[in-house]
Structure 1
Amino acid sequence: MAGALFRTARLLESLGHHLVEVEVDLGVDWEEFLLANARQWTANLTASVDELAAAFDRPVDSSTLEPPVLASYHYGRRVSGAQLVTALAVRNRVARRLARYFDAYDVLLTPTVPELPVPLGTHAEGAEALDGLDWLRRLFDIGPFSAAFNVAGTPAMSVPLAADAETGLPIGMQFAAGYGHEGRLFRLAGQLERANPWSHRTPAVWAGNPAGS
């Protein structure tokens, strides 16, 4: 993953972009960030599930929900009003802190995820034994780089600029910009695709060659 990030940085420099390494401080520690999102997400999920269950006269149990969703539902039912207000305040603080970086930098670059592609179902293994918070912790371990931009509501994109040498599966690089600058990301994506096209790159097994022959 580090190699793919390094090659992306070199590609950007070759296209005339000026790169600066920066450590992003969200203004809260990771556990506080995780807890705030777990409370906000699961509280919203619980409200939505209750509404759907009432509308369709369906039970809220393992016959209608998969284990991670059911665990998140039960966790969300335990979130208090005060905890939800605190969670929203934490998310607001993160959004404001992140916005400052876009006053100094046009775009932030990170890997999309911190690991190479894994087999389908890997991240769901043992999910039935997790409670709502543990499930959210697993999700954030999978996608820590995208979480802050999701919270802040700033535009971001994943661009398949590299591929796993063993499987041929794409490796995404994430680019994020400030509020309202989707156009900047689209222009950058076009520039990157022209310089390093990927439409011809496919893994051994893909929709056009399902047997991998």
Structure 2
Amino acid sequence: MNFEDYRKYDAVGLAGLVANGEVSAAELLETAVARMAAVNPKINAVTMDLTEWGRQDVKRPIWSGPLAGVPFLLKDLGAQLAGSPTTAGSAVFKDTLATSDSAITTAYKEAGLVIFGKTNTPEFGLMPVTEPALLGVCRNPWDVGRTPGGSSGGAAAAVAAGIVPAAHASDGGGSIRTPASACGLFGMKPSRGRVSFAPTGEGWGGASIQHAVTRSVRDSAVLLDVVCEPQPGDPYFLARPERPFADEVGRDPGKLSIGFTTAALASDALDPECAGAVLDAARLCEGMGHMVEEVNVPGDLAAMQQGAGDVIAASIAATLDAEGERRGRPVSEGDVELLTWLMCQRGKQVSGSAYVRGLAAIHAYGRAVAGLFQRYDVLLLSTLGSPAIPVGHLTENPAEYVQRLFAFMPNTQAFNNTGQPAMTLPLAWSARGGLPIGVQFVGRMGEEALLYRLAGQIEKARPWFDRTAPL
């Protein structure tokens, strides 16, 4: 199968070709591997080549599952693959081999996906750009001088470059939505508890969640159906939906009440083109029959951010302390990047009392925001503060790091901490350089189905599938 034909299909479409005998899983894998060889040197999206694993996998005597035979990539953070390391973008874990698959990896395999590599991620997923010292800089297929975002930057870059139609991703503060927005993809962050982290525990106090970045809405829905089975002992979980998420795509969402804002929640203001994209999306939704009006997002954002910072820092400190105990010597400053070390030192200063108070501030913010959804079905706002920023921009001036961080990603972390589902759709492109601009839609806790219905409606009205990166 040649690449031009391969790229015409999403994952569901490719699985259909395999099921009908029009193409073999082996042919699809070799097309993906050839595309990876052609473009990965330019973008550094795939940092662990597991091609031979994939070639063994496609020899399965019996194929089953909704995505049987489709090439797939795991993010090098959060999902264990037995026999391979999950580096988390850090030299600390580069030689630590997983002894078993994570629940999500098992689910992907059972769905018939063919895993043949792992994708780039910043150290411990701490940055909204993907420039780790261990794995190297990942670049955006729309403009290789710019970041694909993070922390699922490698996943998004691989999909945008056409290596795969969909890839595993995770989101603790915007790490699905940020790179999906920067790379012109669809990205759904599910509700807290929708996808299990088994056999490990919660991520960042429940803020982190796994799923995928995709080119089509239906791929996202099918992939969420594949992985949303609660596991025994999960600290919190949502039961499987009454109807598959895949069945929601294409269903009429009805007339929704949509509140929108052009605010940058955690910084001074949006880039004008991002604000313009929100207004354009509001007009689009109104034109489709929804009730749309401007709103203010309630809640003490500063207190939530302080609490989330303490939780994340303490989590990093705990991870490095546990690794130090395992190896018999503490992790030292030279073992990790500067930001990770500073976060670790902050985490060591977070008392038990401060941790609990931080969680309380996070939960109070969630309750405040939930009040908005007593009136509105959906909140519409910009995914990012600007289109993709240049490589190196975030870290070139340490004194401006926090300011630049939230100028780029002012609107995503809030909904990790409320636990609500939030999705980004590629609905605009910048006049300066033609860079993708994502628009974010947030739903009530557990209402991914409603978001998928709305996303399917918008995808039909404003299709983006054939708008691909020039790389």
Range class of TM-score, shorter chain: 0.7 to 0.9
Q: Structure 1 CA distance, aligned partners of 2:319 and 2:452?
A: 33
* Residue 22 (structure 1) shift: 0.6
Q: Which residue in the other structure is 2:444 paired with?
A: 178
The runs of 4+ residues in structure 1 deviating greater than 3 Å are: 56-59, 137-141
Is 1:99 paired with 2:343? no
Are positions 1:20 and 2:304 aligned together?
Answer: no
Question: In structure 2, what is the equivalent of residue 145 of structure 1?
Answer: 411
Distance (whole Å) between structure 1 residues aligned to residue 435 and residue 469 of structure 2: 5
**What is the aligned-residue RMSD (CA, Å)?**
1.9
**2:421 partner amino acid:** P
Structure 1 residues 56 and 126, CA, compared in 2 at 3 Å: closer, same or farther? Answer: farther
The aligned runs of 1:81-160 (5 Å cut-off) are 81-127=352-398, 135=402, 139-160=405-426
2:334 to 63, 79, 98: 63
CA 1:62–1:104: 2 relative to 1, 3 Å: same
For 1:107-153, what per-residue CA distance to the aligned partner results, in whole angstroms no more than 9, with x for missing partners? 000100111221123212234x68xxx75x65444322112211011
* Pair 1:93–1:178, CA change in 2 (3 A): same
Is the CA contact (8 Å cut-off) linking 1:169 and 1:203 kept in structure 2? no
Taking a change above 3 Å as real, the CA distance of residues 154 and 142 of structure 1, as seen in their structure-2 partners, is same
Residues in 1 aligned to 2:324 and 2:464: alpha-carbon distance in whole angstroms:
44
> Amino acid of the residue matched to residue 323 of structure 2?
L
**Residue identity in the other structure for 2:432:** E
Which of 301, 307, 312 is matched with 1:36 structurally? 307
Q: Percent identity?
A: 38
Structure 1: distance between partners of 2:333 and 2:454: 45
Amino acid paired to 1:8: A
Rounded to whole Å, the distance in 1 between the matches of 2:449 and 2:456 is 11
Distance in 1, Cα, partners of 2:371 & 2:430? 34
Q: How does the TM-score come out when normalised to structure 2?
A: 0.40
**Contact 2:321-2:330 within 8 A present in 1 as well:** no
What per-residue deviation string (whole Å, max 9, x for no partner) do you get for residues 78-110 of structure 1?
Answer: 111111111111011011111111111110001
Give TM-score, length-normalised by structure 1.
0.85
Q: Matches of 1:121 and 1:187 in 2, distance apart? A: 38
8 Å CA contact 1:167, 1:203 repeated in 2: no
Does the CA-based 8 Å contact 1:39-1:79 persist in structure 2?
A: yes
Is the CA contact (8 Å cut-off) linking 2:323 and 2:331 kept in structure 1? no
In the alignment, what sits opposite 2:427? Answer: 161
Distance 2:327 2:444 in 1: 41
Taking the aligned partners of 1:203 and 1:168, their CA distance within structure 2 comes to 10
Match of 1:74 in 2: 345
In structure 1, C-alpha distance between the alignment counterparts of 2:327 and 2:430, rounded to whole Å: 44
Where 2:291 maps in the other structure, the secondary structure is coil
- Report the secondary structure of 2:384's partner residue: coil
Name the CA shift for 1:180/1:31 in 2 (closer, same or farther; >3 Å). Answer: closer
Count of residues in correspondence between the two structures: 198
| Counterpart residue number, 1:50 | 321
- Is residue 284 of structure 2 the alignment partner of residue 11 of structure 1? yes
**Residue identity matched to 1:77:** K
Q: Return the offset for 1:157.
A: 0.6
Deviation readout 1:62-86 (Å, 9 max, x if unpaired): 4321111111011111111111111
Q: Which runs of 5+ in 2 are unaligned?
A: 1-273
